[in-house]
């Protein structure tokens, strides 16, 4: 499989190149030149397959057989990168900006992976204590920078580093954000898996996806293009509503990100939107046909968490609640009778404080999280100025 840049369809590169570069040389995003179709029989056979088997059957269309949401994709990506750098004497440095969950997934997914160094940037005081502990308590090949700024500042620093000729000449840099195609592809697996677990009615389904950078949703659209019978995707955002506004008005206006309780989705300029435009030929009508976008307020998120807990004794984290309410809104507005599947994107314990406050229910931390909390924060504080970040990279990376 070859990959092209969204800025120039004519130049194609290998998967290896796309994964190790992250961003294309012309700053476009990589996309597969064609999306393989799975045979019809795959969908009936998938009912008897394990998750691993489904993932393998989907993945092998993009790669040779290698082989929870962001953790899952990060593990997949770290193994793939480690395989590609195995014969190199230079160290690969991964730069990643995080608003919360990406950072911990990448830190843990790449911890102790040979030949790879990871530098994680997160916005100071804008992630939960637990997220911070998960991101910033590892040592070894993981370096963590606490940036005095917003998530958008972190993302800007990373993008600027990729475009900086001095850094490009001296260092071998790549990204592990959802701009990297290696994270996107595994994010299509669980759509197939979820479908395999529901009763075979011969009907299409609706998937609701709590969205920030829209990588997860892109994974779902990829699955649909491969043949998964999806009637509609619900793109559910929090108050960061650039996409719902775009679908209703036709105007795309990136905004500075706003803080919400579903902070892993506080994204004011979702970078994967370039891929979604690509998948629908830049045609707004087609996008509207496939995607129902909805923005959920803080108040509604709280109400939903509370209501679901009272009604079903199920504890949702705030991100999951945004997706769930998005699905309910879509089904009731359209009277659509198809089966709805809502993606749950985080364990509620990751947002313990707020979840306990809203539901009144106390949550025990899973052991892995409890261990992280006891460790000391190793992050290094930096300003949001590029010059300082660049200097830091030169000093730290060889």
Which of 78, 216 has the CB closer to ligand PLP? 216
**Which residues neighbour 11 within 8 Å (Cβ) at sequence distance 6 or greater?**
4, 5
What's the min distance (Å) between Cβ of 126 and ligand PLP? Answer: 14
What's the min distance (Å) between Cβ of 134 and ligand PLP? Answer: 11
Which of 75, 393 has the CB closer to ligand PLP? 75
Binding mask 262-301 for ligand PLP (x = CB under 6 A): --xx------------------------------------
Task: Check the CA dihedral 169-174-180-181 and report its sign.
Answer: positive
Which of 185, 217 has the CB closer to ligand PLP? 217
What's the min distance (Å) between Cβ of 16 and ligand PLP? Answer: 23
What's the min distance (Å) between Cβ of 247 and ligand PLP? Answer: 15
Q: Which stretch binds ligand PLP (CB under 6 A): 156-164, 207-215, 243-251, 291-299?
A: 207-215
Member of 32, 186, 215, 348 binding ligand PLP (CB under 6 A): 215
Which of 113, 343 has the CB closer to ligand PLP? 343
d(CA 82, CA 109): 11
CB-count exposure of residue 164 (10 Å: 0-12, 13-18, 19+): middle
Q: How far is CA 198 from CA 75, 312, 328, 341, in A?
A: 27, 20, 18, 9
Member of 210, 244, 340, 348 binding ligand PLP (CB under 6 A): 210
Q: Is 92:115 a contact under the CB 8 Å cutoff?
A: yes
Which of 13, 321 has the CB closer to ligand PLP? 321
**β-pair partners for 122:** 146
Member of 108, 133, 224, 319 binding ligand PLP (CB under 6 A): 319
Q: How far is CA 59 from CA 53, 55, 182, 306, in A?
A: 10, 6, 10, 38
Q: Tell me, letter by letter, the H, E, C secondary structure of 6-45.
A: CCEEEEEEEHHHHHHHCECCCCCEEEECCCCCCCHHHHHH
**In the structure encoding, which two tokens stand for residue 166, read together?**
């001095």
What's the min distance (Å) between Cβ of 178 and ligand PLP? Answer: 5
* Site membership for ligand PLP, residue 346 (CB under 6 A): yes
* Site membership for ligand PLP, residue 212 (CB under 6 A): yes
* Site membership for ligand PLP, residue 213 (CB under 6 A): yes
What's the min distance (Å) between Cβ of 138 and ligand PLP? Answer: 18
The CB-nearest residue to ligand PLP is 101
Member of 122, 191, 207, 214 binding ligand PLP (CB under 6 A): 214
Which of 84, 210 has the CB closer to ligand PLP? 210
d(CA 281, CA 283): 5
Size of residue set near ligand PLP by CB under 6 A: 16
Site for ligand PLP in 2-41 (CB under 6 A): none
Q: Which stretch binds ligand PLP (CB under 6 A): 209-217, 244-252, 276-284, 298-306?
A: 209-217
Q: How far is CA 87 from CA 15, 75, 84, in A?
A: 17, 20, 8
d(CA 167, CA 161): 7
What's the min distance (Å) between Cβ of 237 and ligand PLP? Answer: 9
Site for ligand PLP in 85-144 (CB under 6 A): 101
Member of 345, 355, 382, 384 binding ligand PLP (CB under 6 A): 345
Which of 221, 346 has the CB closer to ligand PLP? 346
Which of 210, 268 has the CB closer to ligand PLP? 210
- The binding site for ligand PLP (CB under 6 A) comprises 70, 101, 178, 210-217, 264-265, 319, 345-346
């Amino acid at each position: 499989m070859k990959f092209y840049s969204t800025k120039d369809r004519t130049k194609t590169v290998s998967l290896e190149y796309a994964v190790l570069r992250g961003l294309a040389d012309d700053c476009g995003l990589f996309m597969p030149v064609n999306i393989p179709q799975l045979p019809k029989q795959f969908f009936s056979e998938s009912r008897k397959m394990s998750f691993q088997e489904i993932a393998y059957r989907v993945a092998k269309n993009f790669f040779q057989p290698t082989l929870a949401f962001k953790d899952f994709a990060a593990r997949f990506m770290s193994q793939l990168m480690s395989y590609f750098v195995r014969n190199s004497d230079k160290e690969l440095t991964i730069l990643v900006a995080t608003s919360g969950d990406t950072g911990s997934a990448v830190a843990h997914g790449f911890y102790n992976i040979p030949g790879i160094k990871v530098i994680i940037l997160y916005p100071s005081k804008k992630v939960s204590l637990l997220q911070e502990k998960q991101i910033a308590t590892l040592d070894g090949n993981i370096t963590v920078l606490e940036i005095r700024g917003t998530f958008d500042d972190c993302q800007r620093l990373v993008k600027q580093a990729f475009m900086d000729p001095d850094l490009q000449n001296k260092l071998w840099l790549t990204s592990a954000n959802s701009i990297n195609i290696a994270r996107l592809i595994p994010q299509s697996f669980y759509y197939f898996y979820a479908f395999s677990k529901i009763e075979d009615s011969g009907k299409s389904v609706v998937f609701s996806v709590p969205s920030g950078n829209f990588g997860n949703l892109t994974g779902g659209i990829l699955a649909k293009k491969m043949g998964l019978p999806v009637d509609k995707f619900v793109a559910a955002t929090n108050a960061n509503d650039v996409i719902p506004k775009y679908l209703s008005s036709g105007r795309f206006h990136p905004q500075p990100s706003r803080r919400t309780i579903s902070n892993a989705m506080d994204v004011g300029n979702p970078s994967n939107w370039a891929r979604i435009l690509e998948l629908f030929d830049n045609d707004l009508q087609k996008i509207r046909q496939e995607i129902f976008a909805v923005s959920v307020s803080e108040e509604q998120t709280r109400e939903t968490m509370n209501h679901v807990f009272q009604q079903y004794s199920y504890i949702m984290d705030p991100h999951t609640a945004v997706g769930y309410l998005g699905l309910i809104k879509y089904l009731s507005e359209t009277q659509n009778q198809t089966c709805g599947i809502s993606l749950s994107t985080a364990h509620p314990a990751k947002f313990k404080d707020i979840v306990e406050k809203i539901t009144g229910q106390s949550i025990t931390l899973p052991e892995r999280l409890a261990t992280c909390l006891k460790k000391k924060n190793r992050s290094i504080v930096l300003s949001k100025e590029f010059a300082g970040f660049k200097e830091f990279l030169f000093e730290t990376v060889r």
